[in-house]
Amino acid sequence: MPESMVIITYPSPLLRQRAVDVEEVNDQLRAVAARMAEIMYANKGVGLAAPQVGVGRRIVVLNPSGEKADEKVLINPVIVARRGAMEGEEGCLSVPGVSGTVRRNANVTVAAYDLDGNELEITASDFMARVLQHEIDHLEGMLLVDRMTPESRMAARDALKALEEAYGKAEPEAGGPH
């Protein structure tokens, strides 16, 4: 049920599983997306991928501006074009307390479906391009820590070790082993 969704945290193996395509856009999927958006806003995020809440489907909610009109739900998103390069600081709701420098494409075009099953294409640059790439990485089982520069990974190692130790002691429903 969507009500019970919680953010799964590093190093849960659920975050490393590749999400499977959504085959049908229906009311259950819309309820999952709505609950994901609630969780994203409650945690002051700008994006959230379904695997981050234990749903192994290719669903992303995002809102880089925070304005309700800018909220997007992407079903089965795929990056179809990439250009340029940029480096910038990123954090992740599934890796709390950790941020680092990540190199990304400066411009991307993403093909996806909306909540009505319509095809859409988004061409984005800068921050929006970064958010799209970050969330689509989650659908592939790729995490922020995999993309951070070596210097950032080194700087984050104590925080990552603390998350690993806390995960080992956590109850399953609190984001520990499932």
Residues labelled as active-site residues: 135
Q: Cα separation of 68 and 82, whole Å?
A: 27
Among 3, 2, 29, smallest CA distance to 115 is for 29
Q: Does residue 100 contact residue 89 with C-beta atoms inside 8 Å?
A: yes
| DSSP code, position 139 | H
Find the length of the chain. 178
CA angle 8, 40, 155 (to 5 degrees): 60
Q: Cα separation of 101 and 130, whole Å?
A: 12
Q: Does residue 40 contact residue 74 with C-beta atoms inside 8 Å?
A: no
Rounded to a whole number of angstroms, the distance between the first and last alpha carbons of the chain is 17
Q: Does residue 77 contact residue 58 with C-beta atoms inside 8 Å?
A: yes
